[in-house]
Structure 1
């Protein structure tokens, strides 16, 4: 049975990708076949189209997320018709991903969607929202409750940042949104941000220890920004690191960790254990306002994915672009 997909290949070192029709036998190992309904475009997806560091085997269907309904399963945990979501694991790296109308994966990679989430909701959330929730859980596990003080979110207008703000505000936190896009201030306030901070005031600092300004932070930027976020975190605060759009390096000192007992929590959404995934999706079903989520969502079809990926690489995207794979 043939189906439509974006297929990436590499010729003379250059990656090419296009929407095409592929045969079902292209699908690789897996005990569950899913009729994909929705996917979405993440920053990692955008990079995969131009960088040889993401896709490790060619030809491959990219897309690190998908949601749909089970067509067939040889694993008793799933039956035909189950609503499921997959994020991370080997998708778009060594295994065909979500930019397609069909997927075949290991049962361990799937999570049953809790009510009231639809497959569309799941991809409006996607890896970005899953990562945001993992970060919120890390703050909570570190004892950061709303009464402890402000929470900073960097890269606030991006996918992770947008959903993190919506979740945190729903839980009663006072959220500071850091962005370099002044035009997005009203959008961020509608998501629940209490204050808007110009990212330059954080990224340009260069002190090993600054004034204590926030009880916790969710950082999607990395590099100098993360170093300065740490330097301005309050005593026994928690900072989560879940992105590196500003760089892989961390030009920091040990001062925040020793003088203020700050915790830096790394967030990995790719290989998170199943129990962690189920906890996060259950919390997303209860703690994320779907009306706020709708503010961050734009629908596109498979043919539009490459253009959106280019805009994302250029820093011209906002919120979430979800992909109707049947459009």
Structure 2
């Protein structure tokens, strides 16, 4: 609902609010802010909050993540970026932008609402997954002094393969992006990642297939060029002025053929590349490798999730909520 909180698809414990944004060449644009708001006997206004940003071809549905942060005493918000999930409109190209700075408007609108709800002195951390982690890191680099910390769940900080592959392919992708920015590239998603998480395939989770389709939304030249530009910025080094926690799986399994090891690995990103890039984000960076983790660590098996959350708890008590000297 534009302008006020209303019911959300996740049920009674969640509320959603549409955030109007500036129109683009496809027409009207919105983002959607979701808040975890379970009933409590004595509602209080928390002094801290977490804003979660999802990944590519995705949206927010990780209810356990919301419950975790709520138990830590933080208000939990999640943002469905423009053209994703709750924010996707029929006239739009799913997930498409040609510059990651476009998302500054989405994040700024979400943070303004959080500050309105909790007050200007509330300490806010951003948590980003995969592409959302890249978006959040670049935003934090451009916006010093606005958040208390950054938690990255398997952030997409480099192109799979290596920086060499990015250097070789970037000119061709950039040229295609100039000529046919919305041209779809060959879809190479075999559906293995969905197989590791969907309840129907032996995983634990159910979600809206229209917002998280298999195969994923088509990757388009203009969008991929924007992603590669972001990777190049990370490779040159960022100067994020708050503590950063990067969590990744302990190993990667990328294969054209299915095998059961994929149920305990990141099968989307090269975790070694992510770990190497993570330390270039700023002066205070912690990297944690989570054995048995999936690409989205919040969707990993229960014992792995417990380790994941325990590591965040330990870090946030030492860095995330601690005001700098």
Higher relative contact order (CA 8 A, sep 6+): 1
TM-score, with length taken from structure 1: 0.27
Bigger strand share:
1
Q: Which has the larger radius of gyration?
A: 1
TM-score, with length taken from structure 2: 0.28
